[in-house]
Structure 1
């Protein structure tokens, strides 16, 4: 995907909250209520259908984010959105601070080890709770802990390369 069309997954709808059409919303932003800054959103349901949404509002509660969407007026409509993903264009987010990266910016970069062995390209990243993991797909899939500088030695956006300290046989 071209950088201009890349998207960031900001959150996910977990279902209805109460009977007035409010929704339980899981936010992947920090802080969680920052999700509302990056509208309009692209909502993607489980079948892959997408629509744009503007005007969502919400509040942070002890149990997470409670949101209202302009076109959701009752519990049934809110519950119908369960599992819907909330996306935003990468361009809607502020630039990362020095030494920080949006995962989507790493996707597609070549991955090589210190000896120059090509591991393919960054397919995606995920969190295990203990640490993040970079998945490189080439002749096979490799899962490399995203720990700098232990395993991820450098990220060179100009040349499109992530250098890792990783055994090609592992």
Structure 2
């Protein structure tokens, strides 16, 4: 499992005093209010940044980091990820998982047939949809609902699903 989880991506600067607009990649953008520090992944290194203040605007989070007081200090970090350590992540409820933990799971049916590997998770309005890359190379879209997802075992890196009628034919 990954030690670090992405909580957002710096989309652009906001004003000239070092604030940035962040696209949240977490289900609950309000969690930024509780965060004191994030790690900025520059691609070459991970810089610890202390959050000075948080605001919200439409679907974005506006952050100000301590020590970054002008647009020139921060604009080079556009499109960079903001990470947190797993121990600072939100508490998950039953049958909730971090997407990064699901990617790569071996997916099999309740009949014991191996289908393929979990490739991606599409976040839709009603429920998530799991993208399974079949052994044939094609993709199978599985709704992340209780009727379909029977068991997720992160230790064994497996997921057992029930294929609803007609799902594989699509």
Partner of 1:133: 129
Say if 2:18 and 2:73, in contact at 8 Å, map to a contact too.
yes
Say if 1:15 and 1:80, in contact at 8 Å, map to a contact too.
no
Q: Which runs of 5+ in 2 are unaligned?
A: none
CA 1:80–1:54: 2 relative to 1, 3 Å = closer
Residue 19 in 1 paired to residue 19 in 2?
no
Residue 32 in 1 paired to residue 29 in 2?
yes
Cα deviation 1:107-154 (Å, max 9, x = unaligned): 332210122221233233232445322223352242423321232232
Residue 165 in 1 paired to residue 162 in 2?
yes
Residue 51 in 1 paired to residue 46 in 2?
yes
Deviates further, 63-72 or 136-145: 136-145
Cα deviation 1:9-52 (Å, max 9, x = unaligned): 2011111111111111222335313135455433224xx33322
Partner of 2:69: 73
* Secondary structure of residue in 1 paired with 2:146: coil
* Secondary structure of residue in 2 paired with 1:56: strand
TM-score scaled by length of structure 2: 0.78
Q: 1:83 aligns with which of 51, 72, 79?
A: 79
Cα deviation 1:85-117 (Å, max 9, x = unaligned): 112232332441122222222233221012222
User: Could you tell me how far apart the structure 2 residues matched to 1:71 and 1:169 are?
Assistant: 56
Q: Which runs of 5+ in 1 are unaligned?
A: none
